[in-house]
Structure 1
Amino acid sequence: MSKSSPSLQRPSWNWKRNWQLHLMLVPAVLLILLFAYLPMGGLVMAFQNYKPWLGFTTSDWVGLDNFRKLFDQPDSLQIIWNTLVIAVLKIVAGLVVPFVFALLLNEVRRTVFKRTIQTIVYLPHFLSWVILGGILIDMLSVEGGMVNRALQTIFGIKPIFFLGDGDWFRATVVISHVWKEFGFSTIVFLAALSGINPALYEAGVVDGANRWKQTLYITIPALMPITIVLATLSLGNILNAGFDQIFNLYNTMVYDKGDIIDTFVYRTAMVQGEMGFGTAVGMFKSLIGMVLIIISYRLAYVWGNYRIF
C-alpha cells in the first residue's frame, strides 16, 4: 500500500526543534494558572458562611442560602437593573460615537491634521480612572467646579450636582466613559475603512455619486459587518458596567441609580466582611456572563461570519 501524501498526514510536534517557543509560553501559562484558575477554588465560599479565621474546611456549609439572600434583599433587583442600564448605555454609545467619528475622520484629507486628531483622542485611554476620577470630581464640583462655573457664566444655569444626583450621575458615567474610550475604539473602524476597495469609490464617482452618497452607499455598508460583530460580542459584557470608574466616582447619595453588581460585591465582601455572600453574587454574575458570551459568539458567527475557533 502506497504511503499517504504528506499533506494528509497528521502534523507532529517537533519539541526539540521548537523548545524555545514553548519555553516562552511558560510565564504566560503560569500567570493564567495563578491568577485565573487557582482562585476558582475560592468559589466554595459561595456555599459557606465563610470566616477567614476558620478557612474553607471548617466554615459552616449553608448550601444555596447565599444565593437566596441575593434575591431576597430589596436592593438586589435595583442593583442588577442599574448594572444593565449603565452597561447597555455604554455599549450603545461606545459603538455609535466611534462609528461616526471614524466616518468624519475618514473625510479629512490633510494627513498631519488627521494624525494629530487621532493622537489627541487616543490619549485618554491610557489614563487610569484613579487619575480621571480625581480630575472629574474637581471639574464637576458644585462649588468652584470648572463645568458649573462655565454653565453659570455663559448660560446662567444653576449649578448641577453631577455626582450627587442619580440621573445626572448615570449620564456623567456614560459620557466620561465614551470620552475616555472612543478614540481607542475608533481604531477598529479605521482599520475596516482602510480595507474598502478604492475601485468602489471610483465607480461611484463615475456614476455621479457625491461624497455624501459614497458614504451612504459604500462606506457605511462596508462598516456594518464589523459593527455587527462588535455589537454581538459586547453582549458578553452586559453585566460589566465598569467597577473602576464607578468606584472612583460614586457616593452614598447615588446608590439608588449608580450602585452596580461589582461595587455591591466589594462593599459586601470587603467592607462588611460577608465574603460568602459576596462570592455568591460574583459567581451569579460570572455564570450569566458566561452564558451571554456563548450566545454572543454564536450570534457573531451567524450574523457576521466571525469565529475565533
Structure 2
Amino acid sequence: MSNQSIQTRNLQVKEEKKLDKIIRTFKREKHIWMICIPIIIWVLVFAYYPMYGMLIAFFHYTPGKSIFACDWAGLFYFKQFFSAPEFFNVLRNTLAISGLNLLFGFPAPIILALLINEISSKYFKKTIQTVSYLPYFISWVVTASLIYTFLSTDGLLPVILQKFGLLHREISFLGEGKYFWTIITSANIWKTIGYSSILYLSAIAGIDKELYSAAEVDGVNRFGKVWHITLPGIRGTIIVLLILQIGSILNAGFEQQLLLGSPQTREYWDVIDTYAYRYGIQLGRYSYGMVVGLFKSVIGLTLVFLTNRLSKKFFDISVM
C-alpha cells in the first residue's frame, strides 16, 4: 500500500473518531441541548437571519424591492464612504470618545468594586451600592436634561464658578466643542460605573477567604491584600471584559450624542452611529448607511479576535 493511501486512511480514521466523539458527547448531553434548542432557534432567527440584510451594502437598494432585484453596486458605496469629507472626523470622534471611555471608564468600576469590598458596615455598603446603581436605570433623555440644567449658561456649575471668581464670563459648556469629550466621558462613567461593578464584586466574592486570613497572619496590610490577592483573583474577569470592550471600541454611543450635541459642536460629537443614522435613515440612503454599519462591525470583530489571541498567548485567558 502506498504512503498516500496510508495517509488517506489515517485521515479517514481520525475523522470517524472525531465524529464518534461528537455523537457520544451529544448523547451524553442531550438534555442540555434540548433545553438550548429554543435559545438556538431565537439566535438564528433574530441574530443571524437579519444579517442577510447586509447584502444591500453591495446593491443600489430601493425600499420595497427584493435585494437581488436591485442593480449591483459592488464597492461603490464603500469607496464613497472612505472618500467622504466627514470620514476622518467621524472616525476621530469615535476613537477619541471610545478611547476616553476605555482609559477612564474601564478601570472606574474596578476601583469602585475594590472600595465597596473594603467597607465593613453592611448597611453603608448596601447604601453605596444602591446609590451607584441608580444612574444606570435613568434614561439618557432624563440624564441629558440634568446635564443641561447643570452646565447651561445659567446652570449650577457656571453660577458656582462665577461666585468663587473662577469664571469671569458667561459660558455654555455644552455650546463649545472643546468640552464635549470630557462631558460625554464623565456622563458615561456616572451612568455605568455602579452597574458595571456588579461583575467585579461577584468575582471578588468568589475569592477564597482563607487567603486573606493567611495574609493577615503574615502581616500584610489592607492595600497589600488588595494588590496581591484581590486583583489577581479577578484578573480573569478583568481581561475578558477588556477584550469585549476593545471589540466594541467603535461603539462610542448614539443617544447621548444626539441629545447633548448641537450643530455648533457637531465637529466633536458626530460618531459612526450618528453618521449612519443621519445618512442611512434620515436621508434614506440605506445602502450607504449599511456600509457604515458594516465597516464598524468588521473592525469590531477583528479587534475581538486579535485581542483574544493576544490574551490567550500572554495570559492564557480567552473568551473562545
TM class, shorter-length: 0.7 to 0.9
AA of the residue aligned to 2:205: S
Unaligned residue ranges in structure 2 (runs of 5+): 1-20
CA distance in 2, matches of 1:12, 1:193: 34
> Cα–Cα, structure 1 residues 308 and 71, in superposed 2: closer, same or farther, change >3 Å?
closer
How far is the alpha carbon of 1:307 from its aligned partner? 4.0
Deviations 1:39-68 (A, max 9, x none): 222222212232325553443322111000
What does residue 147 of structure 2 align with? 136
1:86 aligned onto 2:100: no
3-state DSSP of counterpart to 1:108: coil
Which structure 2 residues correspond to residues 58-137 of structure 1 after superposition, within 5 A?
Answer: 58-137=69-148
**CA 1:148–1:12 in structure 2 vs 1: closer, same or farther (change >3 Å)?**
same
TM alignment of 1:1-309, pairs within 5 A = 10-13=24-27, 22=34, 25-26=37-38, 28-29=39-40, 31-52=42-63, 54-143=65-154, 145-157=155-167, 158-309=169-320
Instruction: Evaluate the alpha carbon distance shift between residue 202 and residue 250 of structure 1 in structure 2; reply closer, same or farther with a 3 A threshold.
Output: same
Q: Which moved more, 1:240-249 or 1:172-181?
A: 240-249
Q: Deviations over 1:56-85 (max 9, x none)?
A: 344332211100011111210111111111
- 8 Å CA contact 1:234–1:296 kept in 2: the answer is no
Give the letter aligned to residue 161 of structure 2.
L
Q: Structure 1 pair 38/11, CA: closer, same or farther in 2 (3 Å)?
A: closer
Q: What is the identity percentage for the equivalent residue pairs of Structure 1 and Structure 2? A: 36
Residues in 2 aligned to 1:12 and 1:269: alpha-carbon distance in whole angstroms: 44
Quote the offset at 1:244 in angstroms. 2.4
Taking structure 1 as the reference length, the TM-score comes to 0.85
In 1, the alpha carbon distance for the partners of 2:31 and 2:219 equals: 57
CA distance in 2, matches of 1:39, 1:66: 20
SS in 2 for 1:73: coil
Residue by residue over 1:274-295, the C-alpha shift from the partner in whole angstroms, topping out at 9 and shown as x without a partner, is: 2111111111111111111222
8 Å Cα contact 1:300/1:306 also seen in 2: yes
C-alpha distance in 2 between matches for 1:139 and 1:148? 8
Q: 1:196-217 CA distances to partner (integer Å, 9 max, x unpaired)?
A: 3333333332333322333333
Q: Give 1:150's aligned amino acid.
A: I
Between 243-252 and 266-275, the greater mean CA deviation after superposition: 243-252
**Match in the other structure for 2:4:** none
Q: Which moved more, 1:183-192 or 1:113-122?
A: 183-192
Contact 1:83 1:239 in 2 (8 A): yes
How far apart, CA to CA, are the structure 1 residues paired with 2:35 and 2:108? 42
SS at match of 2:174: coil
State how far apart, in whole Å, the 2-side matches of 1:95 and 1:132 are: 20
**What is the CA–CA distance in structure 2 between the aligned matches of 1:94 and 1:67, rounded to whole Å?**
32
Distance 1:138 1:287, change over 3 A: same
Q: Report SS of the residue matched to 1:10.
A: helix
CA distance in 1, matches of 2:278, 2:145: 21
Letter in 1 for 2:24: R
- Counterpart residue type for residue 43 of structure 2: I
1:4 aligns with none
User: 2:140, 2:256 within 8 Å by CA — same for their partners in 1?
Assistant: yes
Q: CA deviation at 1:297?
A: 2.6
* Number of corresponding residues: 298
> Is residue 300–residue 307 contact of structure 1 (8 Å, CA) maintained in 2?
yes
* Other structure's SS at 1:163 match: helix
Give the match's secondary structure for 1:51: coil
Greater relative CO, 1 or 2 (CA 8 Å, sep 6+): 1
